[in-house]
Amino acid sequence: MYSIGQLSKKTGISIRALRYYDDLGLLKPAKVAESGYRYYSNEEIRLLQHITALKELGFTLASIKELLSEGKDSTNQEQRWMSYLDVELKAIEQERARLDHMEKLLQTAKHALVIKGEFDPEDIFLFIRAVQSPTEIRDHFLAQHFTEREIAIIKKLPDLSSKDPRAMKWAQLIRTVKMHMDEPPSSAVSQQLAAEMMEITMEWFEQDEVLLEKYWTLIRPDEGMDSKVYALDTGVMDHIDRIVDWYLQHGEGAASNDGEDK
């Protein structure tokens, strides 16, 4: 026999919890002395291990009590166990989906903060809509305009809602572009940005210039409309076009030092 203190030390379960289990009728001591001291046998230790295991699986004390109250020979025991396990698995699935959703929102907010340099609460609502948007809409758009090979490439592009390090690289590049939009296309900083833009986009589009141009055209906002891709409004896209066009026309290393075309 073990006293409640000895049982607590042996199992790592607090005395307070053991008393609470007793009050619930979940784990009764094998014997209660006239003095009121509780004593437990090896049978109670096994039962306590069972209770602890079920708690780790996510069962509530009420459900554990209900499960353990049924006799071992109960014809409904297997079905009841299966039912409880299915409920717990479903709860885990829902929690995982919730956490995945939150992770995407936080990753997007993190990249947006890098792009803007400030936290914009209005963007959060935009991100929520984007994350919740049915994938069928995007898939339909892609199927309308691209081949299967092109779609495969596009779906591998960095996503601001992911942990892909390319997403952070893109966010930093767009922020730098926005910071230097007053620079002429021929300036050193503009041409450095154009070179970086060409390098990463050609890599991401697997050196397919035709696909890159088609994609860039299709994501351009319609006149008077919001950006189709976060941070790529008409002004930003026009500036990128100007610095990249100058880069392609004049060649690498042709940037002027005084900011004027030569």
**Do 134 and 203 fall into the same domain?**
yes
User: Of 48, 70, 92, at which residue does a domain stop?
Assistant: 70
Kindly provide the b/e burial profile for residues 127-152, where b requires at least 16 CB atoms within 10 angstroms of the residue's own CB.
beebeeeeeeeeeeebeeebeeebee
Domain membership of residue 243 as a residue range: 126-250
According to the model, what pLDDT value does residue 75 have? Answer: 59
Domain tally, the chain? 2
**Model pTM above 0.85:** no
Domain of 19, CATH number, reads: 1.10.1660.10
According to the model, what pLDDT value does residue 195 have? Answer: 96
**Do 138 and 244 fall into the same domain?**
yes
**Do 44 and 132 fall into the same domain?**
no
Task: Determine, yes or no, domain membership for 38.
Answer: yes
Count how many Cα atoms sit within 13 Å of the Cα of residue 243 in the half-sphere of its side chain.
Answer: 28
**Do 237 and 132 fall into the same domain?**
yes
Residue range 61-105, pLDDT digits in tens: 888 887 777 655 555 667 777 877 887 888 889 889 989 988 988
